[in-house]
Structure 1
């Protein structure tokens, strides 16, 4: 009877444990990170008798949680990527809305500005048209400023989000280390049995940390047995949590760009290591860093490149014309100087060829192994010189000229040169008096009345004004000269050079045609060239201009070139300024030929940002779907099913009642034996 009573008691205890665990599952059905728990049950050691082995009842062997490492890893991976795309998408959507807006974008402002130029070209004597051009130019500069200011706000927001994300990473890492200690202690006190609820809490913390940055989790062991602690690694193996030891993150000024936040890791010993952005992938942190590096920097640099291009090309063409007073044009926009980071005394930078400038950050670095100092545009080397015995040294490449006074001026990580990053915020109009708009051309041409032929010279395009200002009064006062025609030859006086040109099929630029002679005379055959041929004359001092010669001149005909006294009704330079709107003047290819207009650069920027925005949105949706699938698969294994638990309640209740019945039968048998003894 005692055996039956003990057996019934073991069954009663086991059923009670099952009921308690089932109740625990039901009450935690909505608890985040909870894994369904089950009671492990086994038979007690049987009792041997002469008749055989008799069972001694049951025992509870363990309480385990339903946990699948593979499914959990799938959930973490999908959630990590989803968080990365969500962070990226939230930021790039702001740039996409900013640039693509038909009202607040750059395209309307550029169109209005060049419309003002065309209005001056149509009516160069109109003060209203000239003043409207200045107003449109100021509006264009203001639009650049507002777009750049908004991008700076986005950049500041990203920097602030980086700090908040890093602080959250530190908090989760500390909580995981503390949870490690609690689990180790709990499992040691429980003879190595798993501390299920604590493990769930730690997994929840790991999941939240995984949303912030991609992590690798390694279970620690003491010999052959798991200790219960885990170690967490990021990047290429940098430890964040080693059992109870925690490395912390900080956002510090980058060594290569002090104005830019970089993530550093402070090890438990106090060593601080700046982590490369390429190591910090996944999660919110990876999304923010990738957005800043790939999209924000590129968009702001490309916006600045357009501002720099308009400033340089418009100024260069404006200086080739003359204003209402007959004075050579001055800078229409204030020149933009590349930014040097960190600001270093003695370092001088300038733009040598804006068509060669790229929308990238430049860097001057010393290669001590190779014994050279180099200039990089992004990752591309554009200039290099052997380390000089005496400084300063000047590097020219990628459209820039950089003069460095000494080797000490170059930081270990290199000297950062940003020709376009701040250009959109620096563009401004230099002219306030409409009379100073140089709409006219400095060179005039006339044909004497004694000419017998029908030769016509037109479309004078000034290429250089060097030497035109002989008196130094800012006006074109070069000596008049004539170009004469004889037979099939067009000639100029001694000291001048004339050459025939052809239009390059790729760039559209006029270049020397080597099939014809050049020097004091070149070829023009009325029989084949009457429709027109292009020529270039270079005069003393280096000034040069192109023109078109057509018709059928007679031998002895001449054409006199002279300086233009005033550009009152002259619109030739204004026409050339207006042509910049559709001319390819930017992004020269390997042969030095410009391949892009201002509008095409902006359109490409808008397209790139739009495509990237859509790509991120699609990827986020795809990762959300993968996360939902992975979560569903995991929950099918480890989630709580209320229907199943309700059935278990009934089953374990019946088991409890049956075990109690066994004990009741044992009691009655015992009572019967007592009664017989009486």
Structure 2
């Protein structure tokens, strides 16, 4: 009877454990991170008798979580990537809306500005048109500044989000370390059995941390036996949590750019290590860093490239014209300065060729003995290559002239060629009379000419040493002798025949410059030939000669008077709207106009935005699938638990019935003894 009673008690205890566990599952069905628990039980060691082995009941052998490491890894990986794309997408969407908007974008301001240039070209006598051009230029500069201001606001938001994210990482890391200690102590006190609820809480902390930054988790062991603790690593293996020890993250000024926040890790002992951004992939932190590095920096640099390139090209052309006061044109736009950090190193950078300019920052690295190299940060390329001697003096890279200043060996300086150009561009003139709409050279045909030839299409290439206040030069004439256009014997002029190249859209010389004459056949060249005339002082221009001259005809060239009806330079300024002046190819030929360069930026941002949205949607789907697969094993099914509740209740009642029977049998034996 005693054996039967013990068997009933063991069944009663087992059923009670099952009922408690099932109730625990039901009440935590909505708890985030909870894994369904089940009771494991086994038969007690049987008792041997002469008739065989008799069972002694059951024992509860453990309470286990329904946990599959592979399924959990799929969920965390998908959630990490989803968080990265979500962080990236929320930021780049702001830039996409900003640039593509028909009212806040750059395209309308560019169109209005060049409409003002065309108005001056159509009516150079109108002071109102000239004033309108200046106003449109100011509006264009304001649009550049407004776009840059908004990008800076986005940048400040990213920097703030980085700080908040790092603080959250530190908080989760400390919580995981504390949970490690609790689990180790709990499992040590429980003979090594899993502390299921504590493990769930720690797994949830790890899942939340994994949303912020990609982590790898390694179970700790004492010898060959797991002790319940875990170590957490980030990046390329930097320890974040080692059982109860935490390495703290913080945002510090970058060593390359002090205005830029860099992620560093303060390891035990007080040392601070700056972590390369490329090592911090995944999660919200990885998404913010990738957005700042790949999209925000690029867009701001490209916008600055357009501003700087436009100011340079427009100013260069404006300087080839004359104002209403007969002066050479001054800079129409205020040239944005090229930033060098830190100041005081003597490093200087000047823009020499806007066409070769790239949307990149540069690092000047001192090599000692006055030598230096330039590293383009967008792709890491080094100039000159490390196999060549270091540069000295002035060194040209991407249309920029670098001078190393006083940099010592190992010292560096950051050059932000275009980063702040959109912020700093401005209109430099205020007087409508200062708009250089005219050209400094005029061609006249004497009345004594007998042929039909004309000189037209004068395009200034350089004003050389012409005085700015009164751009005068000695008048000269081209004379035709029946086969050649002859230069004057004095003055040192040269003449070159030009040929148009459709592939590049440029006029290129045919042969070298001649000091005496250039051939012109009235029969074959009557449709027009373009010549380049240059003077030793540096001023030069192109001119079209067409028609059929007769021997003795002349083409007189003289300084243009300050006339109000000259719009030749305004026409050339207006042509910049459709002329390719930016983003030169490997041969140095420009491939983009201002508008197409901006359109390319808008297109790149739009495509990246769409790419991120598609990837985020894909990760959402993968996360949903992985979560479903995990929950099918680990999640609580209330219908199943309700059925288990009834089953274990009946098991409890049955075990109680066994004990009742044992009691009755015992009572019968007692009654027999009486």
Q: TM-score range by the shorter chain?
A: over 0.9
The answer to whether structure 1 residue 513 and structure 2 residue 510 are counterparts is yes
- Residue 574 of structure 1 and its aligned partner are, at CA, apart by 0.2
**Paired residue for 1:341?**
341
- Residue 371 of structure 1 and its aligned partner are, at CA, apart by 10
The answer to whether structure 1 residue 489 and structure 2 residue 484 are counterparts is yes
Q: How far apart in 1 are the matches of 2:504 and 2:303?
A: 23
Q: How far apart in 2 are the matches of 1:207 and 1:235?
A: 17
**Paired residue for 1:503?**
500
Q: How far apart in 1 are the matches of 2:90 and 2:498?
A: 53
- Residue 121 of structure 1 and its aligned partner are, at CA, apart by 0.2
- Cα separation, partners in 2 of 1:333 and 1:173, compared to 1, 3 Å: same
- Residue 352 of structure 1 and its aligned partner are, at CA, apart by 0.9
Question: Would you identify which runs of 4 or more consecutive aligned residues in structure 1 move more than 6 Å?
Answer: none
Q: How far apart in 1 are the matches of 2:477 and 2:585?
A: 38
Structure 2: give runs of 5+ residues left out of the alignment: none
**Which stretch shifts more, 289-298 or 559-568?**
559-568
Q: How far apart in 2 are the matches of 1:204 and 1:187?
A: 19
| SS across alignment from 1:216 | strand
| SS across alignment from 1:499 | strand
- Residue 674 of structure 1 and its aligned partner are, at CA, apart by 0.4
| Pairing partner for 2:605 from 597, 609, 613 | 609
**Paired residue for 1:474?**
469
| SS across alignment from 1:540 | coil
Q: How does 1:330-409 map to 2 (within 5 A)?
A: 330-367=330-367, 373-378=372-377, 379-383=380-384, 386-387=389-390, 393-408=393-408
**Paired residue for 2:252?**
252
**Which stretch shifts more, 198-207 or 444-453?**
444-453
- Residue 349 of structure 1 and its aligned partner are, at CA, apart by 1.9
The answer to whether structure 1 residue 296 and structure 2 residue 296 are counterparts is yes
CA-to-partner distance for each residue in 1:441-466, whole Å, 9 max, x for gaps? Answer: 00011011111111111010000111
**Paired residue for 2:451?**
453
**Paired residue for 1:444?**
442
Q: How far apart in 1 are the matches of 2:99 and 2:282?
A: 27
Q: How far apart in 2 are the matches of 1:405 and 1:345?
A: 6
| TM-score, normalisation: structure 2 | 0.97
Q: What is the aligned length?
A: 668
- Cα separation, partners in 2 of 1:171 and 1:202, compared to 1, 3 Å: same
CA-to-partner distance for each residue in 1:334-364, whole Å, 9 max, x for gaps? Answer: 1222101122352222111111110110121
CA-to-partner distance for each residue in 1:163-199, whole Å, 9 max, x for gaps? Answer: 0000000000000000000000000000000000000
Q: How far apart in 2 are the matches of 1:476 and 1:49?
A: 127
Equivalent pair of 1:533/1:549 in contact (CA under 8 Å): yes
Q: How far apart in 1 are the matches of 2:481 and 2:510?
A: 21
Q: How does 1:198-597 map to 2 (within 5 A)?
A: 198-367=198-367, 373-378=372-377, 379-383=380-384, 386-387=389-390, 393-408=393-408, 412=411, 414-469=412-467, 474-494=469-489, 495-514=492-511, 518-597=514-593
Q: How far apart in 1 are the matches of 2:394 and 2:456?
A: 42
**Coordinate RMSD, CA, aligned:** 1.5
Equivalent pair of 2:347/2:413 in contact (CA under 8 Å): no
CA-to-partner distance for each residue in 1:196-223, whole Å, 9 max, x for gaps? Answer: 0000000000000000000001111112
| SS across alignment from 1:498 | strand
Q: How far apart in 1 are the matches of 2:280 and 2:573?
A: 48
CA-to-partner distance for each residue in 1:227-250, whole Å, 9 max, x for gaps? Answer: 100010111111111111111111
Q: How far apart in 1 are the matches of 2:281 and 2:420?
A: 28
| SS across alignment from 1:407 | coil
Q: How does 1:93-242 map to 2 (within 5 A)?
A: 93-242=93-242
- Cα separation, partners in 2 of 1:185 and 1:89, compared to 1, 3 Å: same
| SS across alignment from 1:527 | coil
**Which stretch shifts more, 500-509 or 220-229?**
500-509
| TM-score, normalisation: structure 1 | 0.97
